[in-house]
């Protein structure tokens, strides 16, 4: 039985797109008969540093308090050293590294090289990290390039979760080997689908509420204007974050509902009862939220980030639009004023997700990549 080790800055119960990707692919690896080792950070001190389940081990490395929920810095105490020793003694066949810049990722590539193997680095981003400050961002960009140089010393095998992610890697002088797509669980549709009862058109968003990054403020502003002209609309916002309280105070109208942080199951139920999903994001790899909303028959309205055009190649499948409020408002009017066309788009994008972006296809892509890794190691 082969063993796959996945190195990632965070893992469940930390919630984010990369963590969801990792969780889903881990389940598929186990279903296919692999053992899995996850090496991540102990972002919560109450989490055990080592856990064992059937065919799964989780190592959580101690980290420093600074930026512990954003960029984990290892705390190299005695427990850290013992865990590294335990990890290196694992019979790992394949090393998978999430992102190119977090320190657990650099560790994974380093340990792979020491074991005489080539790590597979999986890129989830399509643009630089940002702090929304031009001076700090310029420094951050230099740091990114420095960290990429370090990881390139230990591996030359890079993939992206979308074609756009592979294009982004060229910024760092990296030619990606291919794409291992973010995806959905085919069983989720049957699990969460139920007939819609409300006659109102529901627009939704699920994700982090963070200023400027995800475009939530723009969506709320556009919806407020749109709902003054039409009384058959509802907006439901799922997620928490730094601007959550501010948005609740600013938008208190009855047809806007803030759900706060909800479980994945409740997000899927929201997707089922929603008609239109809006993601006006500035930074994405290939949004899990967008894929799941499309699976549950939502018209997708999004900016041209991540794998947007791979899911939505033209307006027969949804809308990839400019990052501005007027374009968003115009697009929402276009959709809600033609419910027949809305239903046709919902069906097309659902079928496209099912056909092209499922975990069975992604696991096949991983296994093809593993074959290529073995060739590298033999040579």
178 pLDDT more than 90: yes
Phi, then psi, of 10 in degrees rounded to 5: -135, 160
Can you tell me the distance from the alpha carbon of 257 to that of 364, in angstroms, rounded to the nearest whole number?
40
Q: Are residues 66 and 193 in the same domain?
A: no
Q: What is the side-by-side strand order in the sheet with 276-279?
A: 256-260, 233-238, 201-206, 276-279, 299-303, 319-321
By C-alpha distance, which of 359, 365, 367 is closest to 4? Answer: 367
Question: Rounded to an integer, what distance in angstroms lies between the CA atom of residue 79 and that of residue 304?
Answer: 44
Model confidence over 132-164: pLDDT tens digits?
Answer: 788 888 998 999 999 999 999 999 999 999 999
Mean pLDDT calculated for residue range 346-370? 97
What CATH number is given to the structural domain containing 279?
A: 3.40.50.2000
Instruction: Determine the Cα angle at 301 with ends 299 and 303, to 5°.
Output: 155
My answer on whether 124 and 198 are in the same domain is no
Show the tokens assigned to 211. Answer: 């200023």
Statement to judge: residues 238 and 345 lie in one domain: yes
pLDDT digits (tens, 9 = 90+) for 48-66: 999 999 999 999 999 998 8
Q: Which two tokens stand for residue 205?
A: 């968003």
Q: What's the pLDDT at 377? A: 60
Per DSSP, 358 falls in state: B
**Domain total in the chain:** 2
173: how many CB neighbours lie within 10 A of its CB? 10
Burial class of 216 by CB neighbour count within 10 A (0 to 12, 13 to 18, 19+):
buried
Which pLDDT value is given to residue 187?
A: 93
State whether 123 and 214 are in the same domain.
no
Same domain, 161 and 12: yes
Domain shared by 174 and 219, yes or no: no
Query: pTM of the full predicted structure?
Result: 0.90
The domain containing residue 307 runs over which residues? 187-356
Instruction: Quote the Cα angle for 41-181-240, to 5°.
Output: 50
Structure confidence at residue 110 (pLDDT): 96
């Amino acid at each position: 039985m082969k063993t796959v080790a996945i190195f990632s800055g965070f893992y469940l119960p930390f919630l984010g797109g990369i963590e969801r990707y990792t969780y889903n692919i881990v389940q598929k690896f186990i279903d296919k008969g692999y053992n899995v080792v996850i090496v991540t950070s102990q972002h919560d001190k109450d989490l055990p540093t080592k856990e064992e389940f059937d065919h799964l081990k989780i190592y959580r490395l101690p980290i420093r308090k600074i930026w512990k929920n954003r960029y984990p810095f290892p705390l190299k105490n005695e427990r850290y050293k013992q865990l590294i020793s335990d990890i290196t003694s694992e019979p790992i066949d394949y090393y998978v590294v999430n992102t190119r810049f977090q320190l657990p990722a650099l560790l994974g590539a380093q340990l792979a090289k020491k074991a005489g193997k080539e790590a597979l680095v999986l890129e989830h981003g399509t643009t630089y990290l940002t702090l929304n400050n031009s001076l700090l961002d310029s420094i951050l960009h230099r740091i990114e390039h420095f960290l990429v140089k370090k990881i390139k010393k230990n591996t030359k095998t890079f993939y992206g979760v979308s074609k756009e992610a592979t294009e982004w890697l060229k910024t760092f002088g990296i030619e990606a080997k291919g794409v291992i797509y973010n995806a959905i669980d085919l069983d989720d549709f049957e699990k969460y689908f139920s007939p819609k009862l409300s006659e109102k058109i529901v627009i939704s968003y699920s994700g982090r509420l963070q200023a400027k990054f995800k475009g939530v403020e723009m969506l709320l502003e556009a919806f407020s204007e749109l709902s003054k002209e039409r009384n058959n609309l509802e907006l439901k916002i799922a997620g928490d974050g730094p601007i959550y309280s501010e948005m609740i105070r600013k938008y208190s109208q009855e047809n806007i509902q803030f759900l706060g942080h909800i479980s994945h199951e409740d997000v899927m139920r929201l997707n089922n009862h929603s008609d239109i999903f809006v993601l006006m994001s500035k930074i994405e790899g290939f949004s899990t939220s967008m894929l799941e909303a499309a699976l549950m028959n939502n018209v997708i309205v999004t900016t041209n980030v991540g794998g947007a055009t791979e899911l939505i190649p033209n307006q027969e499948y949804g809308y990839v639009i400019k990052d501005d409020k007027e374009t968003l408002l115009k697009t929402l009017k276009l959709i809600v004023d033609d419910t027949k066309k809305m239903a046709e788009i919902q069906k097309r994008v659902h079928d496209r997700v099912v056909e092209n972006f499922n975990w069975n296809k992604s696991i096949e892509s991983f296994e093809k990549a593993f074959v290529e890794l073995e060739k590298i190691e033999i040579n």
